[in-house]
Amino acid sequence: MLVNGQWAKDFHPVQATDEEGGFVRQGSVFRDWISVDGSSGFKAEPGRYHLYVGLICPWASRTLMARTLKGLESVISVSVVNPRLGKKVWRFGGFPGATDDTVNGVEYVYQLYQKANPQYTGQITIPVLWDTHRETIVNNESADIVRMLNRGFGALADDRFDLYPQALAADIDAVNERLYEPFNNGVYRAGFATTQSAYDAAVSDVFTSLDYIEDRLASSDYLVGDQLTESDIRAFVTLVRFDAAYYSLFKTNLRPLRDYPQTCAYMQRIYDLPGIAETVSIDHIKAGYYSIEALNPTGIVPVGPAGLFA
């Protein structure tokens, strides 16, 4: 954690807790926007923006999936952090599939935050969308970045997928809200709970959400309408990590995903889309989550699970 631009506190997964001992996630700070005409101060241009992600992180993987689905690989470059969570959180290189920072040449992601705001106070999170012209962070909120990639690059992007079509916007927003706190954040609320009651509530939310997903998929291939939307990206990144990390390490072990046949078929359907497999690394996911010393002090990484995406 940085305080007034200086490293002040080593990484701990529990950023804050509520009165019941529940996990509280920090909000994102950088919330600027890229626009086609540049009226936002950040104009959509090929080669101008760089995306910092981690294949362990579901929030970062949302943006990587959107970049792929919108065909922006040649427009926006990418660096992938080391999945292991050390004292200074996200580091570059040093793990198969991780890269160096080819844009700023720094060793740690926190140094990007220092460069963007020398007085920054807060946690160090990914994704980070970086502007190479203004040499600053545009945005570090995955929900914003997904929508920017969907609409903010105009003709530079592929129009085969509209991840947030206006005709479905209200339904997408409702599904997103239904899934975020109980499911996407619910697995973290379970894993990082500091009281039994907080854990019990979180696990109940997680499996109620899985039932909700399974029920919706019984009559449709996707969660909203008959097309892939950002709601599916949000669900997929949590689902693909479930058996590999959340089920055991986060104690969300009431039932494995194989008990949800519609959901498993849905995961496979999304995974098989062109380029999506390259945004998923079970090796990074396991190495990253099982490096969290507070939850796994021995650092032993399990060999399983065998099967889906493993």
The amino acid at residue 303 is V
Range from 5-19, 65-79, 139-153 carrying the lowest mean pLDDT: 5-19
Total-model pTM: 0.94
- pLDDT bin (cut points 50, 70, 90) of residue 25 is low
Q: Is 290 a catalytic residue?
A: no
- pLDDT bin (cut points 50, 70, 90) of residue 221 is very high
- pLDDT bin (cut points 50, 70, 90) of residue 157 is very high
Catalytic residue among 49, 57, 113, 199: 57
Q: What is the pLDDT of residue 24?
A: 66
Catalytic residue among 52, 113, 188, 266: 188
CATH 3.40.30.10: which residues of the chain? 2-156
CB 81 within 8 A of CB 288: no
pLDDT at 26 over 80: no
Whole-number Å distance between alpha carbons of 160 and 71: 9
Q: Is 57 a catalytic residue?
A: yes
Rg (CA), the chain: 19
pLDDT tens for residues 68-115?
A: 999 999 999 999 999 999 999 999 999 999 999 999 999 999 999 999
CATH of domain 2-156: 3.40.30.10
| pLDDT (mean) for 10-25 | 72
Q: How far is CA 50 from the centre of its chain?
A: 16
Whole-number Å distance between alpha carbons of 63 and 71: 12
pLDDT tens for residues 112-148?
A: 999 999 999 999 999 999 999 999 999 999 999 999 9
The rounded percent of the chain whose pLDDT value lies above 90 is 91
- pLDDT bin (cut points 50, 70, 90) of residue 309 is low
CATH 1.20.1050.10: which residues of the chain? 166-273
Q: What is the pLDDT of residue 29?
A: 84
Q: What is the pLDDT of residue 10?
A: 85
**166-273: which CATH architecture?**
Up-down Bundle (1.20)
pLDDT tens for residues 30-64?
A: 999 999 999 999 999 999 999 999 999 999 999 99
pLDDT at 308 over 70: no
Q: Of 3, 13, 107, give the one whose Cα is nearest residue 52.
A: 107
- The length of the chain, given as a count of residues: 310
